[in-house]
Amino acid sequence: MSSVAEKVIAGDIRAVARLIRDIDDGMPEVREILKELYPSTGKAYVIGITGAPGVGKSTLVDQMLNHIRKDDKTVGVLAVDPTSPFSGGAILGDRVRMQRHSMDEGVFIRSMATRGHFGGLTQSTRSAIDVLDAMGKDYIIVETVGVGQDEVDVVKSAHTTVIVVIPGMGDDIQAIKAGILETGDIFLINKADREGSDKTMSDLRLMIDMDKKKYEGGKWKPPILKVQAVFDAGVMEFLEEIEKHRQYLIETSDGLQFRRKRNRVQDELTEMVKNRLIEEVLENLTETGEFDRAVDSIVEGKLDPYSACDNLVLPALGVSSGGPVKGSEVL
Amino acid sequence: MSSVAEKVIAGDIRAVARLIRDIDDGMPEVREILKELYPSTGKAYVIGITGAPGVGKSTLVDQMLNHIRKDDKTVGVLAVDPTSPFSGGAILGDRVRMQRHSMDEGVFIRSMATRGHFGGLTQSTRSAIDVLDAMGKDYIIVETVGVGQDEVDVVKSAHTTVIVVIPGMGDDIQAIKAGILETGDIFLINKADREGSDKTMSDLRLMIDMDKKKYEGGKWKPPILKVQAVFDAGVMEFLEEIEKHRQYLIETSDGLQFRRKRNRVQDELTEMVKNRLIEEVLENLTETGEFDRAVDSIVEGKLDPYSACDNLVLPALGVSSGGPVKGSEVL
């Protein structure tokens, strides 16, 4: 085993910090280390926290850390800040607040931004979860702004997914991506002293009840809790709900090892293969200038994009661009 | 040139219908035909219409067809109905209404659903636009439900992008994906007789004005129009705004040939290469059962996903999975 992997498993904070940064930067060396760490994963409980900017996710996480630490459990926090052009929020600013835990060896907090060219935020967050898991953290909290497909995928990596809203954002309940709402295991109304919290509660209740059939036969029905994270009001009860959901997962066929369940493995591997393919080939085509030359030819009207695509992709796959394409059934 | 391409260019409706269906079904044969058609494209004016389900997009398109046909211009309509699990709406039902134009040879209407395994809705819609363009249609209207990244990309293929909202959906203005709002060239408030249309107007105005800097130096500033499509009220004025936007594009550096502008060609080719790679490799891995065997190994705990990914991807690219990977800089 490499010394990096050994250090991570031994809980060496500097080694972990550096490895996560390398993951975020998309360094290819990390793959071999992740392979070595994988057998040590599968023990941490992963909690996903998502919601629009300004709903108080960081304050909430801050309070969660206090409670979890009092219980003598260790925690890793990943704050996912997508650099997508459509993202909002100033996650990095909020991070400062959480730094009051920075002297506590039982807490490890990192932001993920992912500067890779060709996507891969979901992938790198999953890898970072693996690192914190191998490091021995009892809980891993993944905090994301609830925007975009990437983040829907990120929260799917959590055992318990928590969706945070605030009152008076009746609008924004609808604005939460449909895909994210469906993944919610617990709903939190933060800043619950504000006007409109009952309305928000009934709106959420309505939306959850619309999916009634989903909860038949003892399936988990997402509870909705009111909290005031800033005063620590309701946070303990919130953690109890997480524990209930954890028990539910253990007792039902879902289990805690759900990341090794077939359909999840299938999804994650599909995505991993996609990213890897795109990165390997597109990076290479970009470096050699082949891609730019193809773009030039199209712009100058010398080549159609369909032929350009053939010329780029087929040689990369070892197929001569003239001949028939094997194994292809899709445009 | 193949006989299919010849027939399409000659305006043979059956040939066009079949080709678009083959594109939607992801048949690989269509690529060669699209290559032949490409030199005949670039003449049609493409209008994208997007908005939530129920805002009256189909009724609007129906009225647009009447006006455009009175002008003796020909039109193709593509109704894009993503099969994504998060999509809503009953586009196919609405289609029925438009069929009153079905006896008119100057109008060609088709729905796109895209049953391909690995995404590609944007790609197949662009290809269908190329077909209608090569067929000689003066206008191509692409109608999409404003949800999801795919559709943001689809509307980017339009010369003029129109965003349709209705009053009393103040909520939903915020619910329109940020990425789609930014692409809007014209905003329409349909069913403008309903209560709240002034509020909707001022909300939209506010949002557009927030981007003030974007409109400095004579840049196109999206107008907001009130219409009642069902009574044909305001539709003529709406078409005049489209004409103004067309003139603007012709006069400014953007031009009508913007699909051949460098950054657009770059984006489209990147996406085409990505889709093609994923399709070629994943289809093949699925067919041979290699992918399933890798999933099994992970589920059984015999293999980590990182090694599984290497084992699948590297041989497909002609790299031995043991050795160093060339051209890779990303995880």
Q: Is the per-residue pLDDT at A288 higher than 50?
A: yes
Half-sphere exposure of B147 (CA within 13 A, CB side): 20
Give the pLDDT score at B55: 85
B90 in a structural domain: yes
B33 in a structural domain: no
Answer whether B175's CB lies under 8 Å from B147's CB. no
Domain boundary among A208, A232, A255: A255
Q: Which two tokens stand for residue B27?
A: 């048949």
The reply to whether B159 and B228 lie within a common domain is yes
Answer whether B79's CB lies under 8 Å from B110's CB. yes
**Closest CA relative to residue B166, chosen from B294, B55, B15, B244:** B55
Please state, in angstroms and rounded to a whole number, the distance separating the CA atoms of residues A169 and B172: 12
The reply to whether A155 and A59 lie within a common domain is yes
Q: What are phi and psi of A144, to 5 degrees?
A: -135, 155
Give the pLDDT score at B238: 98
Give the pLDDT score at B173: 55
Secondary structure of chain A: what % helix, strand, coil (to 5)? 55, 10, 35
**Closest CA relative to residue A227, chosen from A240, A209, A215:** A240
Tell me the per-residue pLDDT of A23-65, one tens digit each, with 9 for 90 and over.
888 888 899 999 999 999 989 999 999 887 778 888 999 999 9
Domain boundary among A216, A233, A255: A255
The reply to whether A243 and A109 lie within a common domain is yes
C-alpha distance from residue A330 to each of A31, A35, A309, B28, B62 (Å) = 30, 33, 14, 5, 32
Of A120, A178, A330, the CB nearest to B117: A330
Q: Which two tokens stand for residue A163?
A: 């969706």
Q: Is the per-residue pLDDT at B88 higher than 50?
A: no
Tell me the per-residue pLDDT of A65-87, one tens digit each, with 9 for 90 and over.
999 999 999 999 998 865 433 33
Give the pLDDT score at A199: 86
Residues 6+ apart with CB under 8 A from B288: none
Of A86, A261, A313, the CB nearest to B273: A313
Chain B's closest residue to A85, CA to CA, is: B179
**Closest CA relative to residue A150, chosen from B205, B109, B179:** B179
Tell me the per-residue pLDDT of B214-237, one tens digit each, with 9 for 90 and over.
777 778 899 999 999 999 999 999
The reply to whether A150 and A247 lie within a common domain is yes
The reply to whether B276 and B232 lie within a common domain is no
DSSP readout, B229-279? GGGTBTHHHHHHHHHHHHHHHHHSTT-TTGGGSHHHHHHHHHHHHHHHHHH
Answer whether B34's CB lies under 8 Å from A306's CB. yes
Instruction: Verify whether the Cβ–Cβ distance B316 to A171 is below 8 Å.
Output: no
A16 in a structural domain: no
Give the total number of structural domains in chain A.
2
**CA dihedral angle for residue B30, residue B31, residue B35, residue B41, rounded to 10 degrees:** 60
Give the pLDDT score at B153: 72
Domain boundary among B204, B234, B256: B256
- Rounded to the nearest integer, the mean pLDDT of chain A is 81
Q: Is the per-residue pLDDT at A291 higher than 80?
A: yes
- Rounded to the nearest integer, the mean pLDDT of chain B is 81
Alpha helix positions (H), chain B: 3-9, 13-24, 30-37, 57-70, 91-98, 121-135, 149-155, 170-175, 178-181, 197-209, 235-251, 262-287, 290-299, 305-316
The reply to whether B249 and B196 lie within a common domain is yes
B93 in a structural domain: yes
> In this prediction, does ipTM exceed 0.90?
no
**Closest CA relative to residue B241, chosen from B265, B272, B255, B220:** B220
Mean pLDDT value of segment B133-159: 81
For residue A266, the chain B residues in CB contact (below 8 A) are 295
Give the pLDDT score at A229: 94
For residue B308, the chain A residues in CB contact (below 8 A) are 269
Q: Is the per-residue pLDDT at B180 higher than 60?
A: yes
Give the pLDDT score at A46: 94
Give the pLDDT score at A253: 63
The reply to whether A186 and A281 lie within a common domain is no
| Residue B161 β-bridge partners | B48
Give the pLDDT score at B231: 95
Q: What are phi and psi of A168, to 5 degrees?
A: 75, 5
| Residue A76 β-bridge partners | A108, A140
Task: Name the residue with higher pLDDT: B114 or B133.
Answer: B133
B31 in a structural domain: no
The reply to whether A185 and A275 lie within a common domain is no
Mean pLDDT value of segment A214-242: 91
**Closest CA relative to residue A309, chosen from B173, B268, B19:** B268
Q: Is the per-residue pLDDT at A235 higher than 90?
A: yes
Q: Which two tokens stand for residue B283?
A: 């289809």
What is the C-alpha radius of gyration for chain A, rounded to an integer number of angstroms? Answer: 22
B261 in a structural domain: no
B316–A contact, CB cutoff 8 A: yes
Please state, in angstroms and rounded to a whole number, the distance separating the CA atoms of residues B80 and B82: 6
B105 in a structural domain: yes
Please state, in angstroms and rounded to a whole number, the distance separating the CA atoms of residues B47 and B77: 9
Q: A113-117 contacts: CB < 8 A, separation 24 or more?
A: A113/A24, A113/A81, A113/A82, A113/A83, A114/A24, A114/A26, A114/A82, A114/A83, A115/A24, A115/A25, A115/A26, A115/A83, A116/A25, A116/A26, A116/A279, A116/B330, A116/B331, A117/A26, A117/A279, A117/A282, A117/A283, A117/B330
B324–A contact, CB cutoff 8 A: no
Mean pLDDT value of segment B61-78: 93
**Closest CA relative to residue B60, chosen from B233, B197, B241, B181:** B233
B80 in a structural domain: yes
Task: Name the residue with higher pLDDT: B322 or B73.
Answer: B73
Mean pLDDT value of segment A156-172: 78
In which band, very low, low, confident or very high, does the pLDDT at B131 lie, cut at 50, 70 and 90?
A: very high
Neighbours of B25 (CB within 10 A): 16
Least confident of A288-292, B57-61, B275-279: B275-279
The reply to whether B193 and B282 lie within a common domain is no
Give the pLDDT score at B184: 87
| Residue A162 β-bridge partners | A49, A186
Q: What are phi and psi of B51, to 5 degrees?
A: 165, 160
Q: Is the per-residue pLDDT at A218 higher than 80?
A: no
Buried (b) or exposed (e) across A276-293, using 16+ Cβ within 10 A? bbbbbbbbbbeeeebbee
| Residue A186 β-bridge partners | A162
Q: Is the per-residue pLDDT at B117 higher than 50?
A: no
Neighbours of A213 (CB within 10 A): 8
DSSP readout, A114-126? ---TT--HHHHHH
Task: Name the residue with higher pLDDT: A223 or A98.
Answer: A223
Q: Say which CATH number the domain at B226 has.
A: 3.40.50.300
Hunting for tokens 């090569």 — which residue is that? Answer: B134
Residue B20, judged by CB atoms within 10 A of its CB (0-12, 13-18, 19+), counts as buried
Mean pLDDT value of segment B96-100: 57
Give the pLDDT score at B154: 74
The reply to whether A56 and A126 lie within a common domain is yes
**Which 128-167 residues of chain A touch chain B by CB within 8 A?**
147-149
Give the pLDDT score at A258: 58
Task: Name the residue with higher pLDDT: A167 or A217.
Answer: A167
In which band, very low, low, confident or very high, does the pLDDT at A209 lie, cut at 50, 70 and 90?
A: confident
The reply to whether B63 and B153 lie within a common domain is yes
Task: Name the residue with higher pLDDT: A290 or A257.
Answer: A290
Instruction: For an interface test with A, give the residue of B276, B283, B288, B296 to mutate (most A CBs within 10 A).
Output: B276
Domain hosting B287: range is: 267-316
Mean pLDDT value of segment B54-71: 91
Of B127, B268, B329, the CB nearest to A283: B329
Q: Which two tokens stand for residue A257?
A: 């090892």
Q: Is the per-residue pLDDT at A20 higher than 70?
A: yes
The reply to whether B130 and B244 lie within a common domain is yes
Mean pLDDT value of segment B156-176: 74
Q: What are phi and psi of B330, to 5 degrees?
A: -120, 150
Q: Is the per-residue pLDDT at B118 higher than 60?
A: no
B21–A contact, CB cutoff 8 A: no
Q: Is the per-residue pLDDT at B172 higher than 80?
A: no
Q: Is the per-residue pLDDT at B263 higher than 60?
A: yes
Of B120, B291, B328, the CB nearest to A330: B120
Task: Name the residue with higher pLDDT: B244 or A120.
Answer: B244
For residue B317, the chain A residues in CB contact (below 8 A) are 277, 280-281, 316-318
What is the C-alpha radius of gyration for chain B, rounded to an integer number of angstroms? Answer: 22
Single-letter code of the amino acid located at B65: L
